[in-house]
């Protein structure tokens, strides 16, 4: 997705309905029984993602309300004593249903990845996606050249505090998560936010999937954050998988390379910088995926990232 656009997604009024795994006592019963695997409710009702549910999680600091989408793995109900890795994904309107199906398909012929609880991080209720992610996923108020006048940027620190203080405890209290296997996935601005977390509170997550990160933002502000982190920290305890599409660098005269930023070059520079610090606990890998651009690269990057963090042979 170009830096100031998002993938095609549905507005809050038309978002995908989800079938609940469990309902709070205050939630009214649906007019029809929830659908079951192999069948939907029909009669023109919204398509459901089986085995998932949606929760409102307000942010008392900003006054905004966000939703978290949660999908539990197939074995969850049958193994009440088992705890599962948990993966938090930004831009949930797009990424949540896609990762849900990729994760299930990877185990279609046997266990290729560990089963995991999937948590989608929505945009603020009542807002379109782009204003919400501009504000919440960026580290400084500098903004972008293509942003409209009056657009708000730079509240990444506040959103990280909301995740840390509200969302992570909310999910951990309600689901059998293995908190030592708590992972993060973000693409574009979502990966910019993930890098901000990595370089400010890396212990929030044990592993990160950072897709096509917008390191161009505010004259490469993340490069400054990386240098500042290295000046005070001797270790970076995380596993990081980064991907970017081959066509995400600018090349004049070649229509395939249509981006406005050198995102492959930026990703390689960040990877080199982090490796050069020789952090004992850091594991990092970068893939440049052939013949992919900012809009097309995500599904393949998601797949490889899941295998990197959750593969049954992963270390």
pLDDT tens by residue, 121-138: 999 999 999 999 999 999
Contact residues for 253 (Cβ-Cβ < 8 A; gap 6+): none
146 or 158, greater pLDDT: 158
85 burial type by CB count under 10 A (0-12 exposed, 13-18 middle, 19+ buried): buried
Beta strand 238-245 pairing with 282-289: parallel
Per-residue three-class SS string for 69-104: EEECCCCCCCCCCCCEEEEEECCHHHHHHHHHHHHH
Contact residues for 218 (Cβ-Cβ < 8 A; gap 6+): 138, 139, 140, 142, 143
The whole-model pTM stands at: 0.87
Q: Distance between CA atoms of 52 and 22, rounded to whole angstroms?
A: 9
Residue 20's pLDDT band, with cuts at 50, 70 and 90, is very low
Q: Is 150 helix (H, G, I), strand (E, B) or coil?
A: coil
Q: What is the mean pLDDT of residues 272-293?
A: 97
> Does pLDDT of 176 surpass 90?
yes
In sequence order, the β-bridge partners of residue 53 are 70
**Cα-to-chain-centroid distance, residue 119:** 9
CATH numbers and ranges of domains, the chain: 48-310 (3.40.50.1820)
33 or 111, greater pLDDT: 111
Contact residues for 42 (Cβ-Cβ < 8 A; gap 6+): none
């Amino acid at each position: 997705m170009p830096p100031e656009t998002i993938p095609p997604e549905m507005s809050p009024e038309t978002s995908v309905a989800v079938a609940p795994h469990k309902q709070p006592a205050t939630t009214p019963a649906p007019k029809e029984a929830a659908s079951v695997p192999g069948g939907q409710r029909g009669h023109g009702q919204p398509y459901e993602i089986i085995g998932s549910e949606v929760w409102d999680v307000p942010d008392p600091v900003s006054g905004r309300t966000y939703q978290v989408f949660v999908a539990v793995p197939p074995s969850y109900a049958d193994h009440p004593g088992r705890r599962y890795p948990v993966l938090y994904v930004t831009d949930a309107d797009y990424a949540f249903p896609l990762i849900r199906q990729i994760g299930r398909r990877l185990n279609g012929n046997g266990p290729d990845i560990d089963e995991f609880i999937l948590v989608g991080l929505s945009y603020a209720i009542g807002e379109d996606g782009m204003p919400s992610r501009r504000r919440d996923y960026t580290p400084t108020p500098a903004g972008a050249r293509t942003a409209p006048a009056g657009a708000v940027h730079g509240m990444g620190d506040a959103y990280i505090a909301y995740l840390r203080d509200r969302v992570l405890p909310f999910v951990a209290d309600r689901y059998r998560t293995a908190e030592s296997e708590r992972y993060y996935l973000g693409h574009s601005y979502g990966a910019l936010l993930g890098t901000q977390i990595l370089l400010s509170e890396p212990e929030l997550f044990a592993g990160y999937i950072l897709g096509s990160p917008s390191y161009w933002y505010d004259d490469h502000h993340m490069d400054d954050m990386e240098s500042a982190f290295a000046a005070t920290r001797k270790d970076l305890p995380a596993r990081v998988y980064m991907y970017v599409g081959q066509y995400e660098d600018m090349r004049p005269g070649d229509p395939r390379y249509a981006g406005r930023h050198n995102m492959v070059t930026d990703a390689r520079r960040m990877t080199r910088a982090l490796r050069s610090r020789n952090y004992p606990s850091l594991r990092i890998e970068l893939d440049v995926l052939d013949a992919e651009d900012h809009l097309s690269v995500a599904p393949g990057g998601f797949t490889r990232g899941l295998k990197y963090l959750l593969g049954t042979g992963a270390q």
